């Protein structure tokens, strides 16, 4: 997985390659049970508390260290899209979201 960080514009581009169908690719990003399996960098784990995958919805999850330390995050989905065949055989899913820093006590 590649993370490209543009601090000046408050943007992060995440790229992940899958040897999978477009339907499974969409599910890997949109279904929390699948997203939790690959989102965190190893050996960390991701765990979703709530996910409303819709424009205006949000995803609340924790990244958990091997020692059990949790780091919570909320991402608000602003824009969601799927480009069918950007180039053969590449497909692209794009999300514009805002990460919100919320005190741990909120969860």
Per-residue pLDDT tens digits for 23-64: 888 888 889 999 999 999 899 999 999 999 888 888 999 999
What's residue 66's pLDDT? 96
Angle at 58 between CA 54 and CA 61, to 5 degrees: 130
DSSP state of 9: G
Percent of the chain with pLDDT over 90: 28
Give CA–CA dist 32/30, Å, rounded. Answer: 6
Give CA–CA dist 29/14, Å, rounded. Answer: 11
């Amino acid at each position: 997985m590649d993370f490209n960080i543009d601090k000046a514009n408050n943007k992060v581009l995440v790229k992940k390659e899958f040897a999978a169908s477009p339907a499974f690719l969409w599910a890997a990003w949109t279904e929390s049970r699948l997203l939790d399996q690959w989102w965190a960098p190893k050996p960390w784990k991701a765990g979703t508390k709530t996910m409303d995958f819709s424009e205006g919805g949000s995803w609340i999850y924790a990244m958990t260290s091997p020692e059990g330390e949790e780091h919570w995050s909320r991402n608000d989905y602003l824009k969601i899209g799927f480009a069918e065949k950007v180039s053969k055989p590449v497909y692209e899913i794009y999300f514009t979201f805002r990460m919100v820093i919320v005190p741990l006590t909120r969860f």
